[in-house]
Amino acid sequence: MTITAEHGKGKTLKDAQGDVFRGLEVVEHACGMATLQMGEYVSNVSSGIDTYSIREPLGVCAGICPFNFPAMIPLWMFPVAVTCGNTFVLKPSEKDPGASIILAELAMEAGLPKGVLNIVHGTTDTVNAICDDENIRAISFVGSNTAGMHIYGRAAAKGKRVQSNMGAKNHAVVLPDASMDATLNALVAAGFGAAGQRCMALSTVVFVGDSKLWEEKLVELAKSLKVNSGLEPDADLGPVISKQAKERICKLIQSGVDDGARLLLDGTDIVVPGYERGNFVGPTILTDVRADMECYKEEIFGPVLLCMHADSFDEAIKIVNRNKYGNGASLFTTSGIVARKFQNEIEAGQVGINVPIPVPLPFFSFTGSKASFAGDLNFYGKAGVHFFTQIKTITQQWKDSPGGTGVSLAMPTSQKS
């Protein structure tokens, strides 16, 4: 499973192992579904009347997955859906469907009944068929904004529930008092891990105050990373997913330079011995980036770290909040007072304080916001259970002689007549 998750996607074997394990955490969480979907009960809401709520499955649900987490994202979806009592149609990315096939085989081996989990393959036509099928009640999606908004609009128009996790531009705000070594390690790991092909990658750093020393050390640390096939034991990052992805990344880097950004570290011309035709992009760092640059406005989805500058902490918060995306944001500081201000004022769904990739464990939900998410209920956690179930409220009355009071056409209330 780990090798399948690694193959050709920029992951190292250790990172691919993390892909699998983070998915299995959701499976473990879903094993407690009996208590997660417990309803509510109130006895004697009115004389002799009880009211309670239960959660029931929707029926047929579907998931449409991206290439970058071929194990974890399917495991965000179908374990929660099927333990809530639904059947599930899973469409893996056409670029790497192997992990989903292995997961389905393992699920059947574990005892999942035939027909509960179903795999379909394809591209646009398959996606549109899922959106249009009247039997499918809910759709989970993770991927780009273009695809995500298309699915959200088309499926919602058919009356389906949709949860759509989309693009991101995650920022790290670094204050002068931050621990330098720990912060640099976090920025490099979160910016270049998986060759930057994560929706929670830290792609932009906002330095408050003087940044020259920070940037020098950032370049020095990034230069020490080894780019190679993800199967090589000493590799820190592997290739990006395709030739087209590499071309797009390099084009956005060049657009930043053309717009006035300074290229501190250039990974566009890297050649890996033995893999000369591979889709490799080395760690790249641009500084003096402005909010009007194309490289800032677009999600690059590659090993590219953008550096911006702010004269004050308040200005840094404004930079982050003006960005249309809202998946995550992190702050690096040693001040608890400043951290509290950040968590209250920042407009992002997931906030890290000295944590570079603040993706919660599955008993919380993955709470992207703004242009990073479309829908009402987020992935896994309580929100995930609510997404895959329909609430039903029952009010019941048991009396010895319910017809003894005659006919009343007045609106029923809890008050005695």
- Which residues are catalytic, by number? 199
The DSSP code sequence of 338-390 is: HHHHHHHH---SEEEES-SS-PPPTTS-B--EETTEEESS-BSHHHHHHHTEE
Structure tokens at 68: 């970058």
Neighbours of 229 (CB within 10 A): 17
Determine how β-strand 161-165 pairs with β-strand 202-208: unpaired
Cβ contacts of residue 392 below 8 Å, gap of 6+? 53, 54, 55, 56
Structure tokens at 192: 């270049």
Residues 6+ away with beta carbon under 8 Å from 240: 10, 195, 197, 246, 249, 279, 280, 281, 301, 302, 303
> By three-state DSSP, how is residue 164 classified?
strand
* 97 vs 208: CA distance, rounded Å: 43
Residue position matching structure tokens 């996606």: 127
Helices 145-157 & 124-132 angle (0-180, nearest 10):
30
Beta bridge partners of 330: 172, 352
How far from chain centre, in Å, is Cα 13? Answer: 21
Amino acid at 317: I
